[in-house]
Amino acid sequence: MNSVQPIPVVVLAGFLGSGKTTLLNHLLGNRGGTRIGVVVNDFGSIEIDAMSVAGQVGDSMVSLGGGCLCCAVDGSELDAYLDRLAAPVHRIDVIVIEASGLAEPQEMVKMLIANENPAIRYGGLVQVVDAAEFDRTRAAHPETDRHLSVADLVVLNKTDRVDPAERARIEGEVASLCAPGTPLVGADHGRIDPELLFDRRPWTETRGQLSFEDLIAEAEEHDGRDPHADHAHARYESVEFTSDQALSPRRFIDFLDRRPAGLYRIKGFVWFGVPGYRERYEVHGVGRFLRFAPAPWGRGERRRTQLVLIGSGTDGPGLLRELDACREESPEQAPPESMWGVLRYVAPADRGDDLAAEDDTPPEDGPVPEDDTPPEDGPVPEDGVPA
């Protein structure tokens, strides 16, 4: 198993005029030190002039002209661009694909899941909806219903252009078209917290050289704007959970299956301690999308679970109580099949015999990890697609 974590690829979809480019600009301007690779059909109004000064457009942004990404017959053109962005020399942290306004999101998701490059992984589908034009868009494009049904996270944009009663009605309509539990976050001018989609590095890691953040902040200051005014942290609630005791994989999966619609993001590491599956499991969730990635513990690293849950309108203390109930006193007695629910969300490439390549240093408070080969007679887990 590759020790380098694959780069998440987030698909940003929505009909023309919904605000995808505005949202993308917001992500680029509020990403801290995170290096974002961007794939778009055409540059449109993306603010790339300042980025050109940094000389980095050629390395971290590519354009797929001439149509929708989903129109590629075999996906080879998209695969080639993703391979280029995923090259270690670029040190990209996340890739965002801004789809054409007429793209078929589910086809793009299939292409990404089928991609065989171990350096990247599908990171979720974000569907942007124009609140002010929702009814007209749906009437003109009946496929809206289908697109919403496969979304992992829905951004209801331009909420500043509708009154509270109209917004509530639209939210109800959208929720009825989405799969149960699909999170819906409201926004105006595409301002959502980037942490809902990806982790941000501290800005200090990139200060000291001409960076995207420096250039965008400087441009906004010249316009008389506060470069930090678009930050949206205050709109969301963050809950942190830590446990030195292993978690029951069955109870934890049950918790994830029942997670409330307001819980937008789940990230962190989980310690299950089940014989044969004693490595560290990174968990990444955007909306309904869920993926586990097993990896060796670091030398001398303490076996523990560390999770961050980001949402809106959620019951923080209630979430913590549910996670507390997932603790397992005797993980060494759990049967291997108790992990099958987790393995449903592990990429096939991470489920081979080399899964057990763990560090041989005993943990601080436990035995040396055992071999982690999945049971031979277990079911074939599915790919890590929306939960």
pTM score, whole prediction: 0.66
Distance CA 198, CA 175 (A): 24
Residues 6+ apart with CB under 8 A from 58: none
**Strand bridging mode 120-130 / 7-13:** parallel
Residue 254 has pLDDT above 50, yes or no: yes
Q: Which residue has the higher pLDDT, 371 or 303?
A: 303
Q: Is the pLDDT of residue 128 over 70?
A: yes
Give rounded-to-5 percent helix, strand, coil for the chain.
35, 20, 45
Between residues 315 and 55, which one has the greater pLDDT?
315
pLDDT at 75: 62
Output 71 or 19, whichever has higher pLDDT.
19
Task: Report the pLDDT value the prediction gives residue 357, as an integer from 0 to 100.
Answer: 38
For the cut 50, the answer to whether the pLDDT of residue 47 exceeds it is no
Rounded distance, CA 10 to CA 68, Å? 16
Instruction: Give SS3 for 20.
Output: helix
Closest C-alpha among 246, 261, 222 to residue 305: 246
Q: How confident is the model at residue 362, as a pLDDT?
A: 39
For residue range 131-166, list pLDDT tens digits in order.
999 998 899 888 999 999 999 999 999 999 999 999
pLDDT at 30: 80
123 touches 286 (CB < 8 A): yes
User: CB of 172 within 8 A of CB of 131?
Assistant: no
Query: For the segment 257-299, what is each residue's pLDDT rounded down to a tens digit?
Result: 988 878 888 889 999 999 999 999 999 888 878 889 999 998 8
Which pLDDT score, from 0 to 100, does residue 15 have? Answer: 87
* pLDDT confidence bin for 255, thresholds 50/70/90: very high
Buried b (16+ CB within 10 A) or exposed e, 63-101: bbeeebbbebeebeebbebbeebbeeeeebbbbbbbbbb
What SS3 class is residue 229?
coil
Give the per-residue pLDDT at 24.
86
Q: Could you give phi then psi for residue 152, rounded to 5 degrees?
A: -90, -30
**Residue 59: pLDDT above 70?**
no
Residue of 53 and 221 predicted with greater confidence: 221
Higher pLDDT, 80 or 350: 80
Write down the pLDDT at residue 170.
Answer: 96
Q: Which residue has the higher pLDDT, 252 or 3?
A: 252
The total of other beta-carbon atoms located within 10 Å of residue 203's CB is 15
Average pLDDT, the chain: 77
pLDDT in tens, 295-304: 999 888 999 9
Torsion angle of alpha carbons 201, 24, 267, 125, nearest 10°? -150
> Per DSSP, what are the bridge partners of residue 77?
none
What are the tens digits of pLDDT across the range 201-241?
A: 665 444 433 344 444 444 444 455 444 444 344 456 888 99
Q: Give the DSSP letter of residue 301.
A: P
Report the relative pairing of strands 153-157 and 94-98 from DSSP bridges.
Answer: unpaired
Could you report the per-residue pLDDT of 78-101, keeping only the tens digit for each?
Answer: 888 888 888 888 888 899 888 877
What residue type is 124 in one-letter code? G
Q: Which residues of 219-247 are buried (b: 16+ CB within 10 A; e: fewer)?
A: ebeeeeeebeebebeeebbebebebeebb
Instruction: Specify the range with the lowest mean pLDDT, choosing from 54-63, 67-76, 131-140, 204-213.
Output: 204-213
